[in-house]
Amino acid sequence: MILIHPTAIINSKANLDSSVKVGPYSIIDGDVSIGAGSVIGNHVTITGNTTIGKNNHIYHYSSIGESPQDKKYNQEKTFLEIGDNNTIREFCTFNRGTAQDQSLTKIGNDNWIMAYVHIAHDCEIKNHTILANNTSLAGHVSIDDYAILGGFTLVHQFCKIGSHIITAVNTVVFKDIPPYVIASGYDAKPNGINAEGLKRRGFDPKIVAKIKEAYKVLYRQGLSLNEAEEKIKILSKETEELNLYIDFIAKSTRGIIR
C-alpha cells in the first residue's frame, strides 16, 4: 500500500510517522512534524515550523503553517502547533505566530474546522470546537472549549470567545463573548444561552437553569458589569459551572458583548 503519493514533494528533513498518508501534489517542508495516523489530502501545502499531532485529517488545497499576514513580521522563527484528532476541511489557511506575541499559533484536540476557515497568527483554539465554513479569525484571538462559530463568522483581533457559546451565521465579533452565550448580528449581541448545546453535552437541567439565571443577572437586570460579577460570584458558591463567567470576565481585555 502506497501511503505517500509519488507526486507529493516531501523534504527529506520533514518528520512524518510511517503511518502518515499524503495525497497527490502536496508539499511538506523540512521543519514539519506529523504524527501517527494523520491523513494529508491532495494539493496541501504544509510549511514553516509546524507540528501536527496524531489522527488529523487535512483535506485538499489547505495552506498550513505559512508566515503570518502581518507587516511587522520580519522572518522571525515562529510556530504552529496542531494537536490530535482534528478535522480540517478544504481550502483552510492557518498561519504561524509572530514575535510580538508568543510566536505561536496553537490548535488543540478534537476540533471540527470546515472549509475556507482562516486562523490568523497567534490564535489559540482549544478543544472540541466547531468552526463552520468561511469563519475568519484575526490575529491573537482565543477560543475556549466547545465553542461553535457559525458560517461566515468574523472575529476581530484580540477577542476572546468563551466555552459552550454559539454564533449565528454572518456574526461579526468586536468584543469578547462570555461562556454559554448565543451571539448574533453585526456587531454581535447576546441572544440567550446555548441551552440546546448544553443539553447535548449532558448538562443537568438544574445547572442549565442556574446558567440561565446568571445570564439574566449579566444581561437583563440593568446592572453594571462589576455589580453583575459580584452577584454571579454569590450564585457560583452553589454552582461551580458559573465560575466560567467569573474567570472569563476577569480575563476580558476588550470588554464583553452587551
Rounded distance between C-alpha atoms, residue 173 and residue 176, angstroms = 8
Binning the chain into helix, strand and coil, the percentages to the nearest 5 are 15, 30, 55
- The single residue of 122, 144, 145, 176 carrying the catalytic annotation is 122
State whether residue 139 is helix, strand or coil. coil
Residues in the chain: 258
- The single residue of 31, 35, 101, 121 carrying the catalytic annotation is 121
Check if 139 is active-site: yes
Task: Say if CB 182 and CB 166 are below 8 A apart.
Answer: yes
Rounded distance between C-alpha atoms, residue 173 and residue 187, angstroms = 6
| C-alpha of 208 from chain center | 24
- The single residue of 41, 108, 139, 150 carrying the catalytic annotation is 139
C-alpha to C-alpha distances, 132 to 38, 47, 122, 176, nearest whole angstrom = 21, 24, 20, 19
Check if 204 is active-site: no
Check if 121 is active-site: yes
Catalytic residues: 121-122, 139
